Structure formats: C-alpha cells, structure tokens
Structure 1
Amino acid sequence: MTPQRVTLITLGVADLDRANAFYGAMGWQVTREVPGQVAFYQINGMALGLFGLGALAKDQGRPGAALGTGAMTLAQNFGTAAEVDAAFAKALAAGATAHKAPEKVFWGGYSGYYAVPDGHVWEVAHNPFWPLNDDGSLTLPLADAG
C-alpha cells in the first residue's frame, strides 16, 4: 500500500530568480537551494520546490517537453476572511495577477484566486467548516456518522 501523503510539491518555473523574488515578497524564506537551479521552502510538514522548466522536464525523463502549469490549484486556508483579504493583497503587491477577488462563495466560505508570475494558481480561503490547527495546518473533520 502506498502511504496517503504528499511530502513535496515542485513547481516548474521559467525564471527561478523571479519566482524566488515573488515568494520572498510574500515573506517566505528559502530553506535550501542550489543557486540558479532549484529552491526549497519548508511548509507545514512538507516542502515546496521551485525548479526550472527545462531542468524539470529533463528530470522527468522528458527533455524538451513543453511543461505548463497544469489544471490544479494550490491553496492556503486562513482563520478569517480578513486574513484572506490581506494574503490576496500581499500576493498582488508581490506581482501576482488576480483571477477572482475574495468573496463569499456558494459552499459557505470565502475565497479568491490569483496566479503567480509563472502562472501557477493559488486559492486563498476561509472555510468555517474546516478549522485550522494552531500551526496553520489542516486536519479534515471526519464525516458525519449519521
């Protein structure tokens, strides 16, 4: 059986310096890096890696492949709608492009979306049904037994 976990998310980036500058403007700090090649950020029990697109394609065994950003969203949940608004504003100030300003959403929460300079889409959200742990991590509530 394969464990149900994610330990590292790696994003392909066109310009590693630009990507690091964006996350740095968000207040994130590089934990480990090989300058000009790859950078890693420690995040709540896992890591986020930034890797040049060409090097990532080669590492995947697909040299020369045109890698895109894929049909996925990375998300950060926050304890309040005000924290969502602040995170969204900070991302835009750091160079992100707004896709959807934070607003009340159909499922009862509050969320918005932006894209970082390489096009990866992030959601910032407050979900009143998913309380966060003290360290900001998320443990999904168990489904109702009834």
Structure 2
Amino acid sequence: MTPQRVNLITLGVSDLDRARAFYADLGWTPVDEQPGVVFYRMHGMALGLFGLDPLAKDQGRPGATLGTGAMTLAQNFPDREGVDAAYAAALAAGATALKSPEEVFWGGYSGYYADPDGHVWELAHNPFWTVNDDGTLTIPDPA
C-alpha cells in the first residue's frame, strides 16, 4: 500500500536563474541550492526547480522533451483579499495572467496565472475549507 501524501513537487524549468528570480520576486527563499536545482520548504513538503534536460536525465529519459503537463498547483487563502494580493504580486513578478480572480461555480473565488515556464498556479479562497494560521489546509470530513 502506498501512503497518501506528496513530499516533493519538482518543476522542470528551461532557465533555472530566471525561475529562481521569479520565485524570489514572490518573496520565496530557497532552503537548499545545489548545482542545477533549488529547493523551497513548504509546510511539511518541498518544491524543487530543476533544469529540464537534467530532470529528463534524472528520470532515466535523457534527451526527452519535457512539458509542463496538465496539472495545476494551488495556493489557498483565508479570504478574497489574499487571493487578489497574491495574484497582483505574481503578475508584478512576471507571471502570465490566465484568469483574473473571480467568483466560481463551486462557491469560492479563484484566479490562475502561469510562471515563466508555463507552470499553472491557482490562487483560491474556498469558504468551505480552513486555511490555518501556519498556511496549512484543513478540509472538513464529509457530513
């Protein structure tokens, strides 16, 4: 049986210096930097930035063309103002606007941007979930 968890998300990037600068402009501070890779601590897990070619080699697929895939990374906020502020900060750091924050069909508020490598981030306020003071998320058990 495999544990239900994610410990590390690694994003393949075409230009590590550009990606590092983008996340620095968001206010993120690396916890570990090694040749060709940067890691950020994120409340019990980590995010890594890794050059595309070295990542393909590390996966055992040297020469493979890696894309961004069909996935979204998300940050939840305790209120709409937090979503708006984070969205504005991302655009100021060089993100590409995909969808401005707005009310959504499921009763929340969210918007999307892409980082310089096309990795899609959702910024959301879900009134049915709790964002704790330390940034962790509590999803209530179904009734």
Aligned length: 143
Structure with the largest fraction of strand: 2
1:116 matched to which residue of 2? 115
2:89 matched to which residue of 1? 90
The normalised TM-score by structure 2 is 0.98
Query: Which runs of 4 or more aligned residues in structure 1 lie more than 2 Å from their structure 2 counterparts after TM superposition?
Result: none
Q: Determine helix, strand or coil for the equivalent of 2:138.
A: coil
State the 1:139 CA deviation: 2.2
Q: Determine helix, strand or coil for the equivalent of 1:86.
A: helix
Q: Determine helix, strand or coil for the equivalent of 1:2.
A: coil
Q: Which runs of 5+ in 2 are unaligned?
A: none
Quote the Cα distance in structure 1 between the aligned partners of 2:27 and 2:137: 21
Q: What does 1:1-146 correspond to in 2, within 5 Å? A: 1-35=1-35, 37-144=36-143
The normalised TM-score by structure 1 is 0.96
Quote the Cα distance in structure 2 between the aligned partners of 1:123 and 1:132: 15
Q: Percent identity?
A: 73
Moved more, 85-94 or 131-140: 131-140
Moved more, 8-17 or 130-139: 130-139
Quote the Cα distance in structure 1 between the aligned partners of 2:141 and 2:124: 20
Q: Determine helix, strand or coil for the equivalent of 2:113.
A: strand
State the 1:134 CA deviation: 1.9
Q: Which runs of 5+ in 1 are unaligned?
A: none
Quote the Cα distance in structure 2 between the aligned partners of 1:86 and 1:116: 16
State the 1:84 CA deviation: 0.3
